[in-house]
Amino acid sequence: MDITRIEAAATRLQGHARRTPLLSSPFLDEIAGRRLLVKAECLQHTGSFKFRGAWSALSALDPDVRAKGVIAFSSGNHAQGIAAAAKGFGVPAVIIMPADAPAAKVAGTKGLGAEVVPYDREKEDRDALGAKLAAERGLTLIKPFDEPEVIAGQGSCGLEIAEQAAEEGVTEADVLVCCGGGGLTSGIALALEAKAPGLRVRPAEPEGFDDVKRSLAAGTIQRNPALGGNICDAIVTPQPGNITFPIMHRLCGPGLAVTEEEALKAMQLAARHLKIIAEPGGAVALAAVLFRKDEIAGDAVICTVSGGNVDPAILARALALEV
Amino acid sequence: MDITRIEAAATRLQGHARRTPLLSSPFLDEIAGRRLLVKAECLQHTGSFKFRGAWSALSALDPDVRAKGVIAFSSGNHAQGIAAAAKGFGVPAVIIMPADAPAAKVAGTKGLGAEVVPYDREKEDRDALGAKLAAERGLTLIKPFDEPEVIAGQGSCGLEIAEQAAEEGVTEADVLVCCGGGGLTSGIALALEAKAPGLRVRPAEPEGFDDVKRSLAAGTIQRNPALGGNICDAIVTPQPGNITFPIMHRLCGPGLAVTEEEALKAMQLAARHLKIIAEPGGAVALAAVLFRKDEIAGDAVICTVSGGNVDPAILARALALEV
């Protein structure tokens, strides 16, 4: 994995993925205690950064292979990314999705023309199920994060951050990235290493599901104790990837972890001051910026809002909080 | 008023106003029955397009005049635009604001450093009040819409629509614009006349406050029967402007009007499918696209989401509706 692979992915994404804006608000700057720039990936096609990696992976396939279709397992955002990319290429997509995935994500995936196969997050092995279906139907499995072309696609977000931050005059800052398996985090870290070495990536996670934070601290891959039961469903993964972890270990600063309530409050503040919808898992980096500011140094900070696929009831709950 | 004035304003706005994205969603295309492109001006600085006109007006003032400060009357979005522009130039701003303006807008205006002077929307004449304060303090009054440099600034949004629609391959379409006094509507109409003549502007308003729709139909300026009591506060104005109306009459297609409930439903759909926050008055054009589709022709349609400064409780109400 290196910058040439990310740049190649970015070229394939041109005209297909959106160049999302880098937003800001003086009201959030005040809460953060420093200048804050927010990369609004919730405005990406399908409502999350996952479309980048999906399009990158599908566009890298041999056309004959791609034509047979693709399969993916995902709590929802990777699913929608794959479904939309497959639709764009006119090929079938099968998505293995946890039975407890948010209704908005299931509906979004089906609405994009994919076949959804539900599984039990606690009892079934999604990898085995995916491999079996792929073999039976001749589908290509597109992993959600531990796949070089997916990481390269997510890295295109990092190329944009490097350019947009430079336009804003920001060349030295921590870049907090909402982190599940580490595809976006490692992709952005690789892009910034090459294009903006003064910007340092730090993963943000939910408390109790901070496998990447603990893995970085330990220097070896650590697992989460549970695989569900957190509102930040999009970034609850068993452990960092075998490809993503070494990249993160080499390039990232210490991880940060926030509570569910902090993620919800960040959702409200993103709505009020940036006019964007964040989902809980897409709001953890913003939450860390706003509520863990003592763990951050420097006059400026950058964060991702990685996705916005949230059920309206959870958004309403976030809006009702005292902030 | 012509295109050179708009282009001059766009030059002054460069590096200050955001180039907002033109968003889309296959789910909204399906509801609209045609391809839909949404100009997300809620992502503009201060949460509405008004920052464009404000910056344009302040940047056009003689520096000695500007230094004494500016004054504006506004239900909130023009207020915040003026406050932010004045802050950017380091000059004082006084805002005359209806006493019943949404709390989010009052707080936003004060938070940007402006002095807020409340007035009674039904009983007081805001023009007279503004003129008196301006004379007393040597402030320059910046009108919310019937002012050439304000219209020119709003027109910069139209220049972007022309470019972004062409990038998407859309050169023939109705462009529905949320319309109060007509500053944004006339500015966009002038820009499109010069840059994208196949795109035709049509104003969108709340039912019962459709003074522009009725004025266009009558060929002369018509007034609204009331000046308050609609959730779309941002675009409830007494009547179209003396400068804006002739422009709209020359260039715009028929107006459209939507109910409050349709505006709220459009807010929900914007949140779910575009991940943006629209305020009721900023959602009327989208509502017309989605719920009055029989009044629109063509394979593609464009609309503005002009602002997103909504109190969280009203957004929560929109999210709770059956759509």
Q: pLDDT for A151-167, tens place per residue? A: 999 999 999 999 999 99
Identify the pLDDT of residue B195: 98
pLDDT digit string, tens, across residues A275-307: 999 999 999 999 999 999 999 999 999 999 999
pLDDT digit string, tens, across residues B161-193: 999 999 999 999 999 999 999 999 999 999 999
Residue B130 vs residue A197, higher pLDDT:
A197
Closest Cα in chain B, distance from residue A48 (Å): 10
Q: pLDDT tier at A233 (50, 70, 90 boundaries)?
A: confident
Q: pLDDT tier at A227 (50, 70, 90 boundaries)?
A: confident
Mutation target vs A (from B275, B276, B314; most A CBs, 10 A cutoff):
B275
Identify the pLDDT of residue B126: 80
Q: From B275, which residue of chain A is nearest by alpha-carbon distance?
A: A277
Identify the pLDDT of residue B288: 98
Position A49 pLDDT exceeds 90: yes
Identify all chain B residues contacting A84, using CB atoms and an 8 Å cutoff: 26
Position A42 pLDDT exceeds 90: yes
| Residue range B150-158: mean pLDDT, rounded | 98
Closest Cα in chain A, distance from residue B42 (Å): 6
Strands A173-178 and A140-141: unpaired
Q: pLDDT tier at B234 (50, 70, 90 boundaries)?
A: confident
Position B129 pLDDT exceeds 90: no
Sequence letter at residue A245: F
Compare CB distances from B18 to A21, A47, A313 and report the shortest one's residue: A21
Please list, in sequence order, all residues whose beta carbon lies within 8 angstroms of the beta carbon of residue B124, skipping any fewer than 6 positions away.
Answer: none
Q: Which helix (H) or strand (E) segment is A85 a member of? A: helix A77-89
Identify the pLDDT of residue B4: 97
Q: pLDDT tier at B76 (50, 70, 90 boundaries)?
A: confident
Cα separations in angstroms, A30 against A91, A295, B112, B311: 48, 16, 11, 20
| Residue range A214-218: mean pLDDT, rounded | 98
Mutation target vs B (from A268, A275, A310; most B CBs, 10 A cutoff):
A275
Closest Cα in chain A, distance from residue B251 (Å): 31
Please list, in sequence order, all residues whose beta carbon lies within 8 angstroms of the beta carbon of residue A90, skipping any fewer than 6 positions away.
Answer: none
Q: Which of B261, B257, B264, B266 has the alpha carbon at shortest distance from B203?
A: B257
Identify all chain A residues contacting B275, using CB atoms and an 8 Å cutoff: 42-43, 47, 276-277, 308
What is the number of other CB atoms lying within 10 angstroms of the CB of residue B106?
Answer: 20
Identify the pLDDT of residue A36: 98
Q: pLDDT tier at A100 (50, 70, 90 boundaries)?
A: confident
User: For residue A117, how many C-alpha atoms fall within 13 Å in the half-sphere facing its CB?
Assistant: 14
Q: pLDDT tier at B74 (50, 70, 90 boundaries)?
A: confident
What is the number of other CB atoms lying within 10 angstroms of the CB of residue A2?
Answer: 11
Q: Domain extents for chain A?
A: 3-49+148-320, 51-141
Identify all chain B residues contacting A276, using CB atoms and an 8 Å cutoff: 43, 275-277
**Contact (CB<8Å) B319/A312:** yes
Q: pLDDT tier at A73 (50, 70, 90 boundaries)?
A: confident
Distance CA A202, CA A256 (A): 7
CB-count exposure of residue B213 (10 Å: 0-12, 13-18, 19+): buried
Q: pLDDT tier at A127 (50, 70, 90 boundaries)?
A: confident
At residue B158's C-alpha, the angle toward residues B154 and B162, to 5°, is: 165
**Contact (CB<8Å) A315/B26:** no
Position B102 pLDDT exceeds 80: no
Identify the pLDDT of residue B271: 97
Distance CA A204, CA A255 (A): 6
Q: pLDDT tier at A317 (50, 70, 90 boundaries)?
A: very high
Fold of A51-141: Rossmann fold (3.40.50)
ipTM computed for the complex: 0.95
On average, the pLDDT of chain A sits at 95
Q: pLDDT tier at A30 (50, 70, 90 boundaries)?
A: very high
**Contact (CB<8Å) B276/A43:** yes
Quick one: tokens of A241?
């990837």
Closest Cα in chain A, distance from residue B216 (Å): 32
CB-count exposure of residue B148 (10 Å: 0-12, 13-18, 19+): middle
Identify all chain B residues contacting A18, using CB atoms and an 8 Å cutoff: 21, 23
Quick one: tokens of A71?
């399969």
Distance CA A162, CA A197 (A): 9
| Residue range A245-271: mean pLDDT, rounded | 98
CATH code of the domain made up of A3-49+148-320: 3.40.50.1100
| Residue range B207-226: mean pLDDT, rounded | 95
Interface of B to A at Cβ within 8 Å reads 18, 20-21, 23, 26-27, 40, 42-43, 47, 84, 104, 108, 111-112, 268, 271-277, 308, 312-313, 315-316, 319-320
Strands A35-40 and A22-23: antiparallel
Q: Which of A303, A290, A51 has the alpha carbon at shortest distance from A201?
A: A303
Q: From A111, which residue of chain B is nearest by alpha-carbon distance?
A: B27
Compare CB distances from B276 to A27, A275, A315 and report the shortest one's residue: A275
Identify all chain B residues contacting A21, using CB atoms and an 8 Å cutoff: 18, 20-21, 43
Identify the pLDDT of residue B235: 85
Identify all chain A residues contacting B274, using CB atoms and an 8 Å cutoff: 43
Distance CA B37, CA B29 (A): 9
CB pairs under 8 A between A and B: 71
pLDDT digit string, tens, across residues B25-37: 999 999 999 999 9
| Residue range A194-214: mean pLDDT, rounded | 97
Over pLDDT 70: what percentage of chain A? 100
Distance CA A252, CA A247 (A): 8
Asked if the domains B3-49+148-320 and B51-141 are classified in one and the same CATH topology, the answer is yes
Distance CA B220, CA B246 (A): 9
